[in-house]
Amino acid sequence: MPPMPKPRPLLGTSLELLNAANGVQPLGRKGYVTLPTFAFGWPTTELAPLYLTGSVLDTVRRALRGHFTSRSGRVALALKAVTWALLVLIQRRNVKSEPYFEAGLREALGEDYAKIAAESQPARRHGGVFKTGWSRRRYVEKKGTVRYGPHRANTADIWRRSDLPRDGRAPVLLQVPGGAWAIGMRRPQAYPLLSHMTERGWICVSMGYRISPRHTWPAHIIDVKRALAWIRENIADYGGDPDFVAITGGSAGGHLTALAALTPNDPQWQPGFADADTSVRAAVPVYGRYDWFSAKGEGRPQFIAFLQKFVVKKPYLGNRRDYLEASPITRLRPDAPPFFVLHGQDDSIIPVPEGREFVEELRKVSTSPVAYSEIPHAQHAFDFYGSPRGHYTAEAIERFLSWVHAQRD
């Protein structure tokens, strides 16, 4: 029988420490290293308690086997303690991030906006019972997937409370998934948000769309427009109000959200349904891309190369107009709907200056409120899990949209 391998606790513990350090502060912000930086840092920054629990249990197991009796073992144990301290710091930051979501809303909407939003909640108006919890779909009436367009990817899930009146004319939120225009999986993206909005009396439509590289731009935005057209025509059958439709999405979904909100009824992206009303009452892009044309800056050359090869499939040189037209920051307009933009300061995929620039330029042009919340220490996709930040994101978006809905009343 071959001898058991010699335990090497220092190697595994060093990797744990490196991962925790990357969660505290991204270790790479330039070039392709941002991808593994995000891949490892994203779950760590949002699920630190799980990492901490796993590490402690593993340490106990190893200690019982005598892995920490040697000199290197004792060093490994000390590194474990540092790792645990970093994970506690990460979770503490997460829990204490709520004021940053709130600050951007108060600045743009006024100190009493939350009271106005609470009074406008559809569930309150309809006498519904408020439920607590996150991503608990048993509160949502189970519906079959609907088809909003002719393509295989043109499917969507309808989220609604089972006690919602069929004639209630509940406000509607369209959720556009992210995934670099190449994934587009609507499940399980934005579940904390969809659950929270539905419990508050909204109807949510979680859509899928055609993705690259199989499909080429502008198929993605055409599908978003087609989904909006379907909602206008059909959502009343589910108890929704076709005259109040808002839109949200993160990352690539944030780009599509902003672009759809800034190009209502644009026939260029409504082939075969040019007469459909695709305007929205409010837009909430989260850590989105708003610039498809700038070639300078952190990660910009790699991003343009990705678009050229997989999404637009046209060289930037000679086709610059296509990239400009696809950039929300070039489509700003005075009659833009109210916007609530969110971005994480430690975003490794889409650096936070892109969100700041978009908000700054939109505020110069739009006559509607433009709220902006920048979240310290938050990575890309900080709202995906049922973490404190995921909860705070859902609550902040609901308050913003309910405030907008109150203005309509």
Catalytic residues: 251, 347, 380
Residue with tokens 């001898």: 3
Tokens of 258: 């902003």
Residue 375 CA, distance from chain mean position = 13
**Cβ neighbour number for residue 300 with a 10 Å cutoff:** 15
DSSP-derived pairing of the beta strands 203-207 and 240-250: unpaired
CA angle 315, 261, 208 (to 5 degrees): 70
Other Cβ atoms within 10 Å of 305 Cβ, number: 12
Q: Scanning the structure block, which residue is given the tokens 């082939």?
A: 271
H/E element holding 374? Answer: strand 370-375
Identity of the amino acid at 320: R
Strand-pairing partners, residue 248, are 175, 284
Residue 370, classed as helix, strand or coil, is strand
Distance of alpha carbon 77 from alpha carbon 166, whole angstroms? 60
Question: What does the angle CA 124 – CA 130 – CA 131 come to, to the nearest 5 degrees?
Answer: 160
Q: What is the layout of strands, in order, in the sheet containing 370-375?
A: 146-147, 155-159, 203-207, 170-176, 240-250, 282-286, 339-344, 370-375
